[in-house]
Chain A
C-alpha cells in the first residue's frame, strides 16, 4: 500500500522484491543480446581491428565452418571425455575418503594436513613434473585434472559430512541402525544435496585445468585448437574454441541444476 505523501519505489527495483521468472529470463536474454549487438556494431563501424576482436557473427560463422569442415567437434569430444574421466575418478575417490575423514576422526587427523598442503600447490606449477612422470599422453591430462579437483573436493565432502546434524546419527542409532547403515541411509542422504552442488562447482574447475593441460602438452582437444589458432593469429578460431567451452559449461551447469531440483524436490517447497 502506498502511503499518502510518500513516493513508492519503482516496481522492479524495490529492495529484495521477488521477480517473476519470465521477467528474469527476459532481462537475461535482453542483456546478452544488447552486449552482442554492441559488440557487432563496434566491429562493423571499424572501431576495432577484426584481427584482434572479430565480430560475433564472424565467430559464429567460424564455429560453423570449423564444425563442418574442420575438426572442432572431434576435439570437443576429446576434451569432454578427458574431463569426464578425470572428474569421475576424482569424485569416486573423494566421496568415500571425505566421508571417512569426517566420521572417523583418526582418518581425518591423518589426512587433513597432507591434503591441505597439496591443495595449495598451483596446478600449473606441477605441469612440468607431470610431464616428467607421465609424458604428454592422456595420463598427464587426467593426472592434472585429478590433482586440481580431488584435493579440493575431498575437503568439501568432509565438510558436508560434518554439517549433517548429529541428531540424525543419534536418532538412527536408537532406531537400531548399525554404523555402516547410518552412513549409507542417513549421512549420505542428508549431505547429498550439497554434495551434488559441490560436484557441479568442481566440474567447472576441471575445464580450467584441462585447457592448461591441453595447451602445454597435447595435440588434441579444445585447448590445442585454441593454441594452434593463436599461432596463426586466427583470432576468430581462438574465440570459437573459447565460446565452445562456455557453451559446454553453461549446458552442464543448467543440467545439473535441473537434476538437483528433480532429485531434491523435498527441499524446494
Chain B
C-alpha cells in the first residue's frame, strides 16, 4: 500500500469553550486532487485548510503530508487569499518572483525563467512591470496563483480566492485554475460557499455542516461529470443535476440546526 499524500487524522479544534471542529475529523487527500471544501460561512472549513498551511494548530489530532506531521509554514504549502493577495509595493513580476528569494537551489537565470514561465501560464506577461493597483482584481489573483506556483508549492490552499470578483472574471479564472491545476499537477484545497463554483472546479467536494464542522457528504465529482471541464459543461444535464443535489445537501445543512 502506498502512503497517503495528505491525511487529516482525528482533528478537533476548540477556541475557548467553542467547538469549531467536532467530532474528530479525518480525511485523506490523494496527490493531484482538486479538493473543494464547501460549507456555510464560519463553519470551520477554513480553519481546517489553514491547519494544512501551518497557520493554525489543531487542538487534538494531526495532519500528515507524505507521512510527516505538518509543522511551521513553508513553501510546499502556499496560501492564496481573497484580499491583500499581492504585495502593492512590488511589480507583478517581482510579486511572482518573491517566493524564490528564499530558494538557494536556483540560479539567478533559473529564477528569472521560472518567473517568466509562470507569468505566461497565468497570462500576465504583458503586465510584468505593472504595480498591482494598476491591474484588475482578477489579475491580482492570477499574480497570487503564479507566485505560489513559482515558489514551488505542491499544495495550493485557496481561501475563497475569487469571492470578490464579478461573475465573468470569476468564471474565466475558474476555467484557468482548473487548467493550471491539471497542467502543473498540483494538489489544491479550495474553500468556497458557492455551489456552482465547487461543482465546476472540484475533483471531489466535501460538504461541511454548520459549526462545529463535520463532513456531511463526500462527493466524487469526476465520477459524475468527468475530468474535462469545458465551459459548456455548466449547462449540461449532468452538471445541473449534480449542482442541484449538492445545493440540497447544503440547504439541508443550514436547516438542520435552525
Q: Is A131 an interface residue (CB 8 A)?
A: no
**Residues B81 and A174 in contact, CB atoms below 8 Å apart:** no
Tell me whether chain A's interface is mostly helix, strand or loop, or mixed. Answer: helix
Tell me whether chain B's interface is mostly helix, strand or loop, or mixed. Answer: loop
Interface flags, A253-269, vs B, CB<8A=1, else 0? 00000000000111101
**Residues B134 and A168 in contact, CB atoms below 8 Å apart:** no
Given A170-B73, A174-B77, A175-B148, is A189 in contact with B102 using a C-beta cutoff of 8 Å? no
Give chain B residues whose Cβ lies under 8 Å from the Cβ of A165.
Answer: 83-84
* Partner-binding segment picked from B85-93, B195-203, B225-233, B247-255: B85-93
Can you list 19 A-B contacts with CB-CB less than 8 angstroms, sorted by A residue number? A168-B84, A170-B53, A173-B73, A174-B54, A174-B74, A174-B79, A175-B78, A175-B102, A176-B99, A176-B151, A177-B101, A177-B102, A181-B101, A186-B87, A189-B89, A266-B88, A266-B133, A267-B88, A267-B133
Shortest Cβ distance from B89 into A: residue: A189
Task: Give Cα distance in the complex from A249 to B216, angstroms.
Answer: 66
Given A175-B147, A266-B131, is A185 in contact with B53 using a C-beta cutoff of 8 Å? no
Shortest Cβ distance from B55 into A: residue: A170
Per the CB 8 Å criterion, the residue count for chain A at the interface is 23
Give chain B residues whose Cβ lies under 8 Å from the Cβ of A192.
Answer: 89
The one of B85, B88, B103 that contacts A171, using a Cβ cutoff of 8 Å: B85
Interface flags, A75-108, vs B, CB<8A=1, else 0? 0000000000000000000000000000000000
Give chain A residues whose Cβ lies under 8 Å from the Cβ of B73.
Answer: 170, 173-174
Shortest Cβ distance from A176 into B: residue: B75
| Nearest chain B CB to A176 CB, angstrom units | 3
**Residues A167 and B81 in contact, CB atoms below 8 Å apart:** yes
- Considering only residues 208-230 of chain B, those with a C-beta below 8 Å from chain A are none
